[in-house]
């Protein structure tokens, strides 16, 4: 009986590292390829919505912010391509159906102040999420090129988030100040 108990203890102890690795893998988040897919979709959606804002937005401030996003996310997408190529990963070249339906379609029906309001809210929420993902990838990326890319883009996303929050505050303050 003691031998069986000792054997079970040994097996349990030997399996701990494997269980720890499995748990760590679950908590690790995205693979580098999943991050590249996320980053590409983010860049393409932001650039697309920024272009749409040029004709659909009412506010000049929203149009200027949107143009900044077009410029920055187009540049980020080019940097992503270079980093992914270095890492041997593939970059999607079109917005997938899920992102098109969830992110682009709702804006197609909006114009003027309704567009501005929805766009401002979406930019705060989207950049908050993107910033968290990029920061995690900057810490956890397996590939140095992808890690470097994520680190380099974090300040741009922080700038976008701050500007989106400022836009939202300006719009909320405007009606009471009139």
Whether residue 42 sits in one domain with residue 7:
no
Whether residue 42 sits in one domain with residue 24:
no
Whether residue 56 sits in one domain with residue 39:
yes
Please answer whether residues 58 and 112 qualify as being in contact, where contact means their C-beta atoms are separated by less than 8 angstroms: yes
Whether residue 8 sits in one domain with residue 78:
no
Whether residue 99 sits in one domain with residue 16:
no
Whether residue 130 sits in one domain with residue 50:
yes
- Nearest in space to 74 (alpha carbons), one of 51, 96, 90: 51
Structural domain total, the chain: 2
Distance separating alpha carbons of residues 110 and 53, to the nearest angstrom: 10
Whether residue 71 sits in one domain with residue 134:
yes
Whether residue 133 sits in one domain with residue 123:
yes
Whether residue 131 sits in one domain with residue 97:
yes
pLDDT for position 151:
98
Residue-by-residue DSSP string for 94-148: S--HHHIIIIIHHHHT--HHHHHHHHHHHHHHHHHHHHHHHHHHHHH-SSHHHHH
User: Poorest-confidence range of 9-18, 103-112, 157-166?
Assistant: 9-18
Q: Tell me the pLDDT tens digit for each residue of 46-65.
A: 999 999 999 999 999 999 99
Whether residue 107 sits in one domain with residue 53:
yes
Whether residue 100 sits in one domain with residue 13:
no
**Could you tell me the residue range of the domain that residue 7 belongs to?**
1-30
Task: Name the phi and psi angles at 93, rounded to 5.
Answer: -110, 10
pLDDT for position 131:
97
State the pTM of this model. Answer: 0.80
How sure is the predictor about 171, in pLDDT bands with cuts at 50, 70 and 90? confident
Better-scored residue on pLDDT, 60 or 172:
60
User: Poorest-confidence range of 3-7, 17-21, 78-82, 155-159?
Assistant: 17-21
Mean of pLDDT values over 18-26: 37
Task: Name the phi and psi angles at 57, rounded to 5.
Answer: -75, 150
Whether residue 85 sits in one domain with residue 4:
no
């Amino acid at each position: 009986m003691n031998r069986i108990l000792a054997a079970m203890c040994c097996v349990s102890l030997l399996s701990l590292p494997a269980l720890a690795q499995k748990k760590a893998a679950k908590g690790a988040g995205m693979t580098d390829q999943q991050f590249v897919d996320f980053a590409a979709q983010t860049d393409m959606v932001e650039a697309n919505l920024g272009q749409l804002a040029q004709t659909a937005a009412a506010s000049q401030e929203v149009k200027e912010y949107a143009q900044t996003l077009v410029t920055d996310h187009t540049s980020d997408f080019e940097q992503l391509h270079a980093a992914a190529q270095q890492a041997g990963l593939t970059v999607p070249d079109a917005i997938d159906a899920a992102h098109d339906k969830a992110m682009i379609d709702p804006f197609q029906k909006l114009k003027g102040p309704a567009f501005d309001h929805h766009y401002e809210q979406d930019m705060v929420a989207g950049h908050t999420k993107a910033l968290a993902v990029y920061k995690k990838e900057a810490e956890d990326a397996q590939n140095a090129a992808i890690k470097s890319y994520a680190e380099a883009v974090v300040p741009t996303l922080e700038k976008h988030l701050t500007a989106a929050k400022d836009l939202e505050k300006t719009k909320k303050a405007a009606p009471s100040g009139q």
